[in-house]
Amino acid sequence: MRFDVFTLFPGMFVGVFDDSILQRARDAGLIEIHTHNLRDFTYDKHHVCDDTPYGGGGGMVMKPEPIFEAIEKVLGDDPAQRPPLVLTTPQGRVFDTDMAREFAQQPRLAILCGHYEGIDERVRTLVTAEVSIGDYVLTGGEIPAMVLVDAIARFIPGVVGDPGAPHQDSHATGLLEHPHYTRPLEFRAMRVPDILLSGHHANIERWRRNESLRRTLKRRPDLLRQVALSEADKNFLRELGWVESPISNV
């Protein structure tokens, strides 16, 4: 999958995309990440990309011309032939696992990073989706773009060493994931639960499912309304004091 990121600050991506799992995925040819500096698509001496807002007020607004120029040069003149273009904005749909999975089906995705007060409104005519990473405001869209690339890349086969992991992790199943343990068996008087040493696969799976339900009930009970629960799940949750909501989303 190819990512094209349009930004005023390409330097912010150095390191993040050049280390660990994303770097390995790039080396293996599973993902390509191209950052494009919007200043390279200006024609004035000072490469100006922002200006004061019409109507007055503080802050600067990103000018439309370099953005249109960059998108048309890199993604093509014909909007119908372009890959999806995501605008990072706190006004967008809040990013989640389903969106990451959907975007991971695309061969190519472009991401536009706002900065300052944001972009000139006319840029929105170029955009196919507006995505927020949460209900707070950051200084720029670069960190949101990194979040998107990382979360989407995990759903591309081969990027994560254990191919099952992205589909079993928290949120992918609709629940929070069960606890994990590794060696040593005992650490500072804390012992690994015996069930994990039993070698009994079915019992271990049931324990993991129950711990996942326990965690979700304690930390994110709202998620239980959106997940398909078996009778065994419901019985376990009832033992923990869960009362089934009359309003279920599944």
Ligand X SMILES: C[S@@+](CC[C@H](N)C(=O)[O-])C[C@H]1O[C@@H](n2cnc3c(N)ncnc32)[C@H](O)[C@@H]1O
Amino acid at 93: R
Which of these segments, 7-15, 82-90, 98-106, 212-220, binds ligand X (CB under 6 A)? 82-90
Q: Is 82 a catalytic residue?
A: no
141 binds ligand X (CB under 6 A): yes
Q: Is 127 a binder of ligand X (CB under 6 A)?
A: no
Dihedral Cα 48, 36, 89, 53, nearest 10 deg: 10
Print the binding letters for residues 105-124 with ligand X: x by CB under 6 A, - otherwise. Answer: --------xxx-xx------
**Cβ 54 to ligand X shortest distance, Å:** 15
- Single-letter amino acid, residue 175: L
Query: Given the complex with ligand X, which of 92 and 174 has the nearer CB atom?
Result: 92
* Site membership for ligand X, residue 90 (CB under 6 A): yes
Residue 52 touching ligand X (CB under 6 A): no
231: tokens are: 């009778």
Q: Comparing C-alpha atoms, which of 141, 31, 17, 159 is closest to residue 86?
A: 141
Of 87-95, 196-204, 225-233, 241-249, the segment contacting ligand X by CB under 6 A is 87-95
Q: Among the candidate windows 102-110, 131-139, 184-192, 237-245, which touches ligand X by CB under 6 A?
A: 131-139
Half-sphere CA count of 61, side-chain side, radius 13 A: 15
59/94 Cα distance (integer angstroms): 25
CB-CB neighbours of 18 under 10 Å: 11
Q: Which residues are catalytic?
A: 90, 117, 154, 169
